[in-house]
Amino acid sequence: MPTITIFKQDLEGLLAGPGEARQPMTLEQIEDSLMLVKGELKGQNPDTGELRIELQDSNRPDLWCCEGIARQIRVKRQGSLPKYGFLSTKPPSPKQLNVTPGLEKVRPFVAACTATGYRVTKDGLAQLIQTQEKLAEMFGRKRRTVSIGLYRLAAIEFPVTYDLVKSGEAAFTPLGMDTVMTLGEMLLVHPKGLEFGGILAGHDRLPFLRDAKGRALSFPPIINSREVGEVKVGDDALFVEVTGTDLSMVILTLNIFAANLADRGAVVEPIEVRYPYKTDLGETVMTPQDLGRSRTLPVQTIERALGQVLGVHEVAKALVAYGYEVATESEQLTVTLPLYRQDLMHAMDVVEDVAISRGYADFLPVMPSQFTVGGLSRIEEFSDRVRALMVGMGFQEIISNILGSPQDLRDAMRLEGTEWGQLVEVDNVMSLNFSALRQWMLPSLLRVEAASNRAFYPHRIFEAGEVARPDPAQALGSRTVMVLGGMIAHADAHFSEIHSCLDTLFYYVGQAYSLEPVQHPSFLAGRAGSILCEGKRVGVIGELHPEVLERWQISVPAVAFEIDLTQLAERP
Amino acid sequence: MDISSLIDSLHPLEVKVLSTFVSNPSAVLQTEQLAQASGLEPSQLSMAVEWLLAKSLLAVDTEVVTPMVSLTKVGEQYVEKHSPIERVLAAAREAATTGKRLTIQDIQSREGLEPAEVSGAIGRLKKEGALLIIQGGCLESTGRTSPTAEAIRGLLLRVHEMPREMQTFSDAQRQVIQDHAVKRGNAKEPFRIDDRVARSLKLSADGTEAAQQLSKQGVLEEVSQLTPELLKDGSWRTKRFRKYTISLRAPRIAPGKKHPYREFLDTVKAKLVSMGFQEMRGPLVETEFWNMDALFMPQFHPARDIHDVYFVKDPKQTTSIAEPFLSRVAQAHQDGGATGSTGWNYPFDVARARRLVLRSQGTAVSAHTLAAQPAVPGKYFSIARCFRYDQVDATHATDFFQVEGIVLGEDINFRTLLGLLNLFAREVAQAKEVKFLPAYFPFTEPSVEMHVRHPKLGWMELGGAGLFRSEVTLPLGVTVPVIAWGLGLDRMAMVALGIHDIRELFTDNLDLIRSTKGAL
C-alpha cells in the first residue's frame, strides 16, 4: 500500500479551492478526515508541514495524492462533487493525437490532455511527480500496464503522433543525460532503460511519442525527452499523456491527472486520440472521458448489508457526499462513480462507501444472536492433552520456527540421503536459515539445547507442533503432521529415563506400543527404537548420536523421542 | 518469655542438662554428677551451665574453692630429667669423687641449663650448706644433704601421680611447693597451684517448671529429619525436631511448564471456544488458489509477488484443484461469473493457481472451510502458522501465528460485524473503548480496522475484519453473509511477556523460557 508525502499547507489550500483563503487544520482534524480515504498518518514534520500518509485501498489510486485526499474531504464537506467542465464541453476543433498501426501489439493505448492557466508551484510539482511515480509503480504494475508523461505544452506542435519505430530510427536527449541517444541505446545504458526495458522485450519496433514537427516527446514507458519532457516550477501550460496496455486503466489514470490539475485551477482541454485499430471505445476516443458505468440497485440491498434502515434519501445523500452521482426512483438507486474512480465491481462496494460517508461511528454495534457450539479439532484436543502430560512429567514447553535450514534439519542430524532427511524446500530463498520446513521436531529441541548450556541441569524440554513431510501421493506434494518431540539432557541422561516418559505417556493416552530396534543415523546404534502401534511406526526414541551432539556443539548426553500425534489421534 | 517458648528456644545442650533433673527436680547436683548424668564433655557442660545460669533456669547451691597442686610442663620434664637443684648437687658430688674442678660454666654447658636456673639452684644449696663456692668460681660438695632437693624429688613423684589438694601436704612441703610454683614473671617452675571450684547446682523455679514441661512433652532427643522409622514406632513423640532457618533462599527448581506464548495462545483459544467458535485447521503448504485466488486477490496483486510469498521448490504445482471451485473462482476473477460482480477483467491463469506456496495468511484456512459446507449459523477460528518473505527483525518474523476466522449467518451484516468486534475487544483485550476505522482488504467489503484502548497499552490496533465479498463466498458455495476477522495479538503477547523483540517469542534461550512468567 502506498505511503505518500504531502504538505499540510498544500492540503489546506486544495481544501479551500484555487484563489480561496485556506483554513488551517489541526492534526487531529486531519487524522479524523483521513478516515474518509482509509488513510493513516504515519509521521509528520511540524517545521516543514510535511505529512506522511499511508493509503490502504489499492483500488483507489485517485487517493494516492494530496489532490485526491483533499477532494474526498472537500466533497464530504460540500455535500457533492461539482461537475468537471472538461467532461461536458467538447472543444469545437480538438487537438489530436494519432496512433500508428502496429502499436496494438506493443503498447496499444494512449490518453492525453492539456492543462493551462495553473502556474506550477513547488508543492504542486512535488505532487505531480509523486503521483506520476506512485501510479506507474503500484497501479501501473511498474509501468507495465500504465505509464505517465508530463511535458511543457509550449514546445509541442499538434497533432502529436504515438509512433512505432525501429530502435535506431529515433533519437533524443533523455532526462538525466546530456547526449543524444537512440531508443536502442537508451535501453542499453539509461538507468530507466535498464530498469523498465523488459516491458518491451521481444519487440523490434518501439513506442515513440513525437509532435507534428517530428520533435521527440518521449520513449514510453521508459523516459521523456529532456527538452520537452521536463516540467519546472513556474510552467503554466502542460501536456499530459498516459500509455499502457489496458484502455480503461489508461483513461482512468489520465482522468485522475486531469481532475488533480483542474482542482489546482488549471483549465483542462481534452484531446482526441485516433486509432488505426478498433478499441472498446471506438477508433476515435476523447480523453479524459468519464467511463463511469452506472449501476442500479435496490436500497434494501444496502440496508440489509448495513443492518440498518436508512431510506433511499439518506443513502443517496451519503453517496453524493462521497462523490457519486445518484438518481433515485422509488426504492431503486442508480449510482455512477466519479470520473477518477473505477472500483465499483459489486453492490457491496457501494455499501462500504455509504458506511464511510456516514462514518462508521454512525452504526450501532449489534451482537450476532444465533447460537453456535464452540470446540477444538480432534488433533488440537489430543495435542493439548499430550502437552499437559508432558508438563506433568516435568518438561518445559518450547516453541520454534517451522522454517529452518537443511543444514540443521538434515545434515547436522546425519540424515543426508536418508528417507528421514527429505524436506519441503523453499524455491525463492531469502536466507538459508529459513529455507526449508522442518520435517521433524528434534532439531527444534536441539536448537534450544545448543543455546542453553548455562541453564541449570537437568534439561527436560518438549514441543508439540506441525512439521511438513514430502509425500508424492498427496496433491500438495507433502503432508502437514502434528508431532510431539521430547528431550532430556544432563550429564547422566540415559535411555531408560526417556523411555519411562514415553511409557507413561502411552499409558495415559490409552495406547499400546512396542519398541523395535532401528538403525537411525541420528541415534547411537543399539540405543534407538522405532515406536510401533499395532505394527505401524508412529515415532522414534533413542540416545542422540555423539556426532549429532558435536555438530550442535552440545556437551552433555541427550535422549529424546518423537511421536506422530496426527496418527495417534486418528486411532480409535 | 513464657516457659513453652523458652523451651522452644533452648539449645540441645541445655535441654540435656535440664533433662538430668527431670527424675528429681529438687536435686542438688555437683558438676561431676551433672557431667556423668548428662554424658556431656566438660567444655559442652560448662557452656550449657553458663547459658542456663544466664537464663536463670539453674541456680548455684554451694560453691567450694579448693587449692590444688599440679605439675606444669616443666614439672613433668623434671620427673624424668630431675630438677636443676638435684642436677647441680649431683654434678658437685661427682666432681668431688673424681677430683675434677667444676665451674658454674661447666655445669651450665654440661647440663644444658639456663644461667638463672643454675644460679637459683646454687644459691639454695649454698644456703642449706650442701655446696661451697671455692676460689676460682669452682663448686665443691660439702657432702651434706639438701632438704629442698630431697623434698622436690618426692613432691614431683607424688603430684605426678595426680593433682593433689594443697592441704594434704605438710607445712614444709607446702613451702617448697610455694617456692617452686609458677607465679607471674616466673613461668619455669614445676608446680602450679589452681583453685578448683566445686559447684553444686539446682533448678530455679522456672527451671523446675521447664524441666517438668520437658518431661511432660517427653521431648528429649533432637532429630533433624522425620523418618519412616520414627513414624512407624511412634517414637517421633519423644523427639524434638531441629528448627530450620526458614528465611534462607530456597534452592531453584525447573518445573514442567507450558511455554508462556503458547499459554497466551491457549487462553485466546479457550476464549474463542467459549464464544462458540469451532476450530479449523489447514496445511502448511498451500496452493496459490486457496491462499489467494479463492480470496479474490487478482493474480497481478502486489501481495502475490515473489517478494511477499515463499514458493515451494519441489513439486512446484499441485496435481489438482477441486472443482467446481476452480472454474467458479476463475470465472469470478475474469468477469464476475454468477457473483453479481464485474470481476477483475483479466485472463485467469490456472497454472498460476496451482503453484505451491507456504501459507501466507490464515484466511486460506477459512477459504477451505467455506468450500466444505460449513454450518449456518456457524463460527470458526484458526490459530495458523503463516510464512512471509520478509527480512527478519525486531518486528518481523518469518513465521508467525495468525488468529483469524469467520462467522456465517443470515443475521450477519455490518452492524453485527461491529458487535462481534466489540465482543473481541472486551473478551480478548479487556478493552472497554473501541474505535472502528474504514480499512481495505482484498477479500472483504465493507472492511473495518478495530482499535481498542488496552488497559495497559493505550490505543492499539487489535484486528481487521469485514464481510467477505460475494466474489469469495458464492464461488465456494456459501450464500449467506460471512464475517471474516483477524486479530493481531503478537503485540499484546509481547507486552504481557515483557519482551520487545518479536523473535523472542520463539527464543532458544531456556533460561529465559523458564523464568518468564505467564502472560495473564
Sign, CA torsion B327/B329/B330/B334: positive
Q: Which of B340, B409, B509 has the CB atom closest to A451's CB atom? A: B509
Over residues A208-219, the pLDDT tens digits come to: 999 999 999 999
Count CB atoms within 10 A of the CB of residue B331: 18
B:81-100 residues touching chain A, CB 8 A cutoff: none
User: What is the model's pLDDT at position B185?
Assistant: 61
Chain A residue numbers with beta carbons less than 8 Å from the beta carbon of B517 are none
Cα B491 to Cα A334, B460, B487, B498, B500: the distances in Å are: 45, 9, 11, 10, 9
- The owner of cell 505531480 is A128
Q: Do A345 and B391 touch (CB under 8 A)?
A: no
A:1-30 residues touching chain B, CB 8 A cutoff: 1
Q: Do B281 and A377 touch (CB under 8 A)?
A: yes
Position with higher pLDDT, A411 vs B495: A411
Judge whether A275 and A283 are in contact, CB under 8 Å. yes
Q: Which of B397, B415, B513 has the CB atom closest to A396's CB atom? A: B513
* Alpha-carbon distance B225 to nearest alpha carbon in chain A (angstroms): 27
User: What is the model's pLDDT at position B1?
Assistant: 57
Size of interface A-B (CB pairs under 8 A): 280
By C-alpha distance, which of B92, B159, B97 is closest to B121? B92
Does residue B422 sit at the A interface (CB-CB below 8 Å)? Answer: yes
Among chain B residues, CA nearest to A360: B436
Chain B residue numbers with beta carbons less than 8 Å from the beta carbon of A73 are none
Over residues A522-560, the pLDDT tens digits come to: 999 999 999 999 999 999 999 999 999 999 999 999 999
Does residue B451 sit at the A interface (CB-CB below 8 Å)? Answer: no
Q: Which of B387, B412, B445 has the CB atom closest to A348's CB atom? A: B445
Model confidence at A340, pLDDT cuts 50, 70, 90, reads: very high
pLDDT over 80 (residue A284): yes
Does residue A332 sit at the B interface (CB-CB below 8 Å)? Answer: no
Judge whether A36 and A70 are in contact, CB under 8 Å. no
Mean pLDDT across A420-444:
96
Which CATH number applies to A85-287?
Answer: 3.50.40.10
pLDDT over 70 (residue A455): yes
Q: Do B510 and A391 touch (CB under 8 A)?
A: no
B3-62+201-217 and B261-515 have identical folds: no
ipTM of the complex: 0.91
Q: Which of A384, A391, A478 has the CB atom closest to B285's CB atom? A: A478
Judge whether B61 and B27 are in contact, CB under 8 Å. no
Does residue B460 sit at the A interface (CB-CB below 8 Å)? Answer: no
Burial of residue B141 (CB within 10 Å: 0-12, 13-18, 19+) is buried
Does residue B432 sit at the A interface (CB-CB below 8 Å)? Answer: no
Does residue A51 sit at the B interface (CB-CB below 8 Å)? Answer: no
pLDDT over 90 (residue A435): yes
By C-alpha distance, which of A541, A551, A554 is closest to A442? A541
- Read off the C-alpha cell for A543: 540416545
Q: What CATH topology corresponds to B261-515?
A: BirA Bifunctional Protein; domain 2 (3.30.930)
Position with higher pLDDT, B21 vs A432: A432
Which listed CATH number (1.10.10.10, 3.40.109.10, 3.30.56.10, 3.30.300.30) goes with A295-362?
3.30.56.10
- Average pLDDT for chain A: 94
Position with higher pLDDT, B390 vs A328: A328
User: What is the model's pLDDT at position B39?
Assistant: 84
Judge whether A525 and A495 are in contact, CB under 8 Å. no
Q: What CATH topology corresponds to A378-570?
A: BirA Bifunctional Protein; domain 2 (3.30.930)
Q: What CATH topology corresponds to A3-78?
A: Phenylalanyl-tRNA Synthetase; Chain B, domain 1 (3.30.56)
Cα A455 to Cα A132, B253, B418: the distances in Å are: 58, 11, 47
Over residues A203-257, the pLDDT tens digits come to: 999 999 999 999 999 999 999 999 898 899 999 999 999 999 999 999 999 999 9
Buried-exposed string B149-168: b where 16+ CB fall within 10 A, e elsewhere: bebbbebbeebbeeebebee
Q: Which CATH architecture has domain B3-62+201-217?
A: Orthogonal Bundle (1.10)
Does residue B284 sit at the A interface (CB-CB below 8 Å)? Answer: yes
Position with higher pLDDT, A121 vs B119: A121
Strands (E), A418-458: 424-425, 436-437
Query: Is residue B239 helix, strand or coil?
Result: strand
Q: Which of A346, A427, A460 has the CB atom closest to B313's CB atom? A: A427
Q: DSSP string covering A368-391, please?
A: -------B--HHHHHHHHHHHHHH
Helix H segments across B317-433? 325-335, 350-353, 363-371, 414-429
Q: How distant is the alpha carbon of residue A365 from its chain centre?
A: 30
Q: Do B392 and A431 touch (CB under 8 A)?
A: yes
Count CB atoms within 10 A of the CB of residue B177: 23
Model confidence at A119, pLDDT cuts 50, 70, 90, reads: very high
Query: Which residue in A32, A378, A426 has the most chain B C-beta atoms within 10 A of its own C-beta, making it the best mutation to test that interface?
Result: A426
Residue A138 DSSP label: I
* Alpha-carbon distance A379 to nearest alpha carbon in chain B (angstroms): 9
What are the backbone dihedrals phi and psi of residue B509, each rounded to the nearest 5 degrees, phi first? -90, 100
B:325-344 residues touching chain A, CB 8 A cutoff: 336, 339-344
Model confidence at A406, pLDDT cuts 50, 70, 90, reads: very high
Q: Do B510 and A392 touch (CB under 8 A)?
A: no
Among chain A residues, CA nearest to B300: A141
- E strand or H helix at B394: none
| Cα–Cα distance, A257 to A140 (Å, whole number) | 14
- The owner of cell 509528520 is A44
User: What is the model's pLDDT at position B158?
Assistant: 87
What is the mean pLDDT for each group of 10 consecutive residues in chain B (520 residues)? Answer: 73 83 83 84 86 88 87 85 84 80 79 79 83 78 82 86 86 85 76 84 87 71 84 87 79 92 94 96 97 94 80 95 96 95 94 96 96 96 93 85 95 95 89 92 94 83 94 97 92 82 90 82
Q: Which of A306, A360, A379 has the CB atom closest to B281's CB atom? A: A379
pLDDT over 80 (residue A174): yes
| Cα–Cα distance, B1 to B511 (Å, whole number) | 47
Chain B residue numbers with beta carbons less than 8 Å from the beta carbon of A479 are 283
Query: Is residue A392 helix, strand or coil?
Result: helix
Judge whether B190 and B176 are in contact, CB under 8 Å. no
* Domains in chain B: boundaries: 3-62+201-217, 73-189, 261-515
Mean pLDDT across A1-23:
91
What are the backbone dihedrals phi and psi of residue A144, each rounded to the nearest 5 degrees, phi first? -65, -50
B:161-180 residues touching chain A, CB 8 A cutoff: none
Among chain B residues, CA nearest to A447: B508
Buried-exposed string B475-492: b where 16+ CB fall within 10 A, e elsewhere: bbebeebbbbbbbbbbeb
Cα B331 to Cα A394, B247, B347, B471, B480: the distances in Å are: 55, 75, 9, 10, 20
A:414-453 residues touching chain B, CB 8 A cutoff: 424-428, 430-431, 434, 437, 447-452
- Read off the C-alpha cell for B322: 477441486
Query: Which residue in B510, B515, B516 has the most chain A C-beta atoms within 10 A of its own C-beta, making it the best mutation to test that interface?
Result: B510
List, in order, residues 6 or more apart from A37 with CB less than 8 Å away. A55, A57, A60, A63, A68, A69, A72, A73
Among chain B residues, CA nearest to A455: B511
pLDDT over 80 (residue A303): yes
Q: Do A371 and B412 touch (CB under 8 A)?
A: no
Query: Is residue A175 helix, strand or coil?
Result: coil
Q: Do A425 and B314 touch (CB under 8 A)?
A: yes
* Alpha-carbon distance B273 to nearest alpha carbon in chain A (angstroms): 5
Q: What CATH topology corresponds to B73-189?
A: Arc Repressor Mutant, subunit A (1.10.10)
Q: How distant is the alpha carbon of residue A101 from its chain centre?
A: 36
A295-362 and A378-570 have identical folds: no
Chain A residue numbers with beta carbons less than 8 Å from the beta carbon of B468 are none
User: What is the model's pLDDT at position A334?
Assistant: 96
DSSP bridge partners of B197: B65
Q: Do B513 and A402 touch (CB under 8 A)?
A: no
Does residue A291 sit at the B interface (CB-CB below 8 Å)? Answer: no
**Single-letter residue type at B367:** A
